[in-house]
Amino acid sequence: MDNKHIEETYQLLIELIQNKCINPPGDEMKSIRTIEKFLKSKRVSCKIFESAKNRANLVAVIPGTNKEDSGLIFGPSHVDVVPVTKPDDWKENPFGGVIKDGYIWGRGTLDMLFIVASQVQAFVLLSQEKFKPKGDLVLFIVADEETGGVWGADWMIKNHSNELSINNRKMFAVTEAGGVQISKDKFVIINGEKGATSLKLKFQGTPGHGSAPYSSDNAVHKVSKAALYLTDYCDNKIPIDTTFIRNLVKGLGMNFILRSLITNKKLLPIILKILNKKDPEMPKVLHSLSRMTISPNIIQGGKKINIIASEASLEIDVRTLPGQDYDYVVFHVKKALKELADEVIIKRVEAEEGIASTGTASPVESDFVTAMKNAIRKDFPNASLVPLIASGATDGRFLREKNVDTYGFALFNPETPMNEIVSLAHGVDERISLKTVELSLNVYYNLAKEFL
């Protein structure tokens, strides 16, 4: 890739950082206009869709030459960013867009403005060279990912799905998360995500004097028991599904013996305990990939220190695998609660980030995945892909629900450690290496050429 084009991508990214589209409130119109201006300066036309005051989404299309062929969406890629809670802890101004030590610094660089900038530029370069794709190539930039997509991807798919070509041909999409090397030449591709359900479990008791507690009907006893029952059930009794672990260990090229141990449903709980003594990170991932998880996180109860509690509640964060619905959640929560199941009152609550979602997954093998591998091999000739389900939600789920196979991928500088990405996204000193921006620009450009 030409230096001039890489440099332009950096500049676009810097402008997006400086636009400060902090969500809430978002005000993404600013960055949407920046992208529109950039596209216009390259004689590329686009459409803007205003979803709310100062909030908008952008679509540009290079039409395919054949009606039957599959198309590709760059996106949904979001221009909103999360707030900066501790600006004084940053080494650089979080909204300055400073280039230093081989990185561009700023809120949103990693999540996910560098992808926005490199996808916009890849789209521009393809348009300028009069690329004729077989299926449509769609650039899809959105608002509002960080608070649930209501005015962004979700809104666009509900109101303007025709603009995205998803109703008339098979489409594939490439969006955020994924692309880090998990070991040499093995790149993570996110092929799905877990769902999230937040529940409040309420228990009643009988009030009485705190000085005479013998055999009392105490609601605090019940929530305490419930918390322990749920954790034990989640770790030791809930049905285990090894599909997603299987994809991971296969991609990692783990040896046959280790692979069969880890993917054995009966042995997994023991393996997790053994691994946990060495390093808790891996078992955490395997645990969450292998089941619906339940984490009891808020407990409340009682009113006065000398009165036996007549009410108590427990809020739990439930994360489901693709295919597990709300009925599945309630069934297993009740089963976990044993004798308490008859008296519990279960209510759905709004999740903290406003995200309640179902899990979704796209196939780990397809022509698209092969094209992706070939695109990466232009820069890393021995590259292979390791499919992984993300534990958090992204806009990708809205497209998967519409039968668009959606993957999270950007091409990270091989020197980027996995934990750097986890700690910098939404964190202090968020930054992206210049090399990663360049490699990602390459990979999106090459992917379109390989696939379309």
Residue nearest to Zn ion (CB): 111
Residue number, 137 or 142, with CB nearest to Zn ion: 142
Question: What one-character-per-residue DSSP string does 324-340 give?
Answer: --HHHHHHHHHHHTGGG
Residues 112-151 that bind Zn ion (CB under 5 A): 112
Q: How far is the CB of 111 from Zn ion (least distance, A)?
A: 4
Residue number, 133 or 152, with CB nearest to Zn ion: 152
Q: How far is the CB of 6 from Zn ion (least distance, A)?
A: 23
Q: Does the protein bind Zn ion through residue 193 (CB under 5 A)?
A: no
Q: How far is the CB of 123 from Zn ion (least distance, A)?
A: 19
Q: How far is the CB of 78 from Zn ion (least distance, A)?
A: 6
- CB atoms under 10 Å from CB of 311, counted, come to 16
Return d(Cα 171, Cα 155) in angstroms, integer. Answer: 18
Determine the number of helices (DSSP H) and then strands (DSSP E) in the chain: 14, 17
Contacts of 24 (CB under 8 A, 6+ apart): 147
φ, ψ of residue 389 to 5 degrees: the values are -95, 130
Judged by CB under 5 A, the stretch of 4-12, 173-181, 241-249, 286-294 that binds Zn ion is 173-181
Q: How far is the CB of 76 from Zn ion (least distance, A)?
A: 10
Residue number, 112 or 249, with CB nearest to Zn ion: 112
Tokens 């450690």 belong to 417
Residue number, 152 or 387, with CB nearest to Zn ion: 152
C-beta of residue 356 within 8 angstroms of C-beta of residue 200: no
Judged by CB under 5 A, the stretch of 31-39, 107-115, 248-256, 356-364 that binds Zn ion is 107-115
Residue number, 92 or 176, with CB nearest to Zn ion: 176
Q: With contacts defined by CB under 5 A, how many residues of the chain interact with Zn ion?
A: 3
Q: Which residues pair with 155 in a beta bridge?
A: none
Judged by CB under 5 A, the stretch of 52-60, 133-141, 169-177, 340-348 that binds Zn ion is 169-177
Residue number, 145 or 438, with CB nearest to Zn ion: 145
User: Is the dihedral angle over the CA atoms 159, 163, 169, 175 positive or is it negative?
Assistant: negative
Q: How far is the CB of 257 from Zn ion (least distance, A)?
A: 38
Judged by CB under 5 A, the stretch of 42-50, 171-179, 184-192, 351-359 that binds Zn ion is 171-179
Q: Which residues pair with 72 in a beta bridge?
A: 137, 172
Return d(Cα 349, Cα 360) in angstroms, integer. Answer: 21
Judged by CB under 5 A, the stretch of 172-180, 241-249, 292-300, 316-324 that binds Zn ion is 172-180
**How far is Cα of residue 122 from the mean position of the Cα atoms in its chain?**
23
Residue number, 112 or 389, with CB nearest to Zn ion: 112
Residue number, 104 or 371, with CB nearest to Zn ion: 104
φ, ψ of residue 293 to 5 degrees: the values are -105, 150
Judged by CB under 5 A, the stretch of 153-161, 175-183, 212-220, 300-308 that binds Zn ion is 175-183
Q: Dihedral (C-alpha) 210, 213, 218, 220: value to the nearest 10 degrees?
A: 70
Q: Is 250 helix (H, G, I), strand (E, B) or coil?
A: helix
Q: Is 265 helix (H, G, I), strand (E, B) or coil?
A: coil
Residue number, 253 or 392, with CB nearest to Zn ion: 392
Q: How far is the CB of 82 from Zn ion (least distance, A)?
A: 9
| Of the candidate residues 8, 27, 80, 111, the single one contacting Zn ion (CB under 5 A) | 111
C-beta of residue 319 within 8 angstroms of C-beta of residue 287: no
User: Is the dihedral angle over the CA atoms 217, 219, 220, 222 positive or is it negative?
Assistant: positive
Q: Which residues bind Zn ion (CB under 5 A)?
A: 111-112, 176
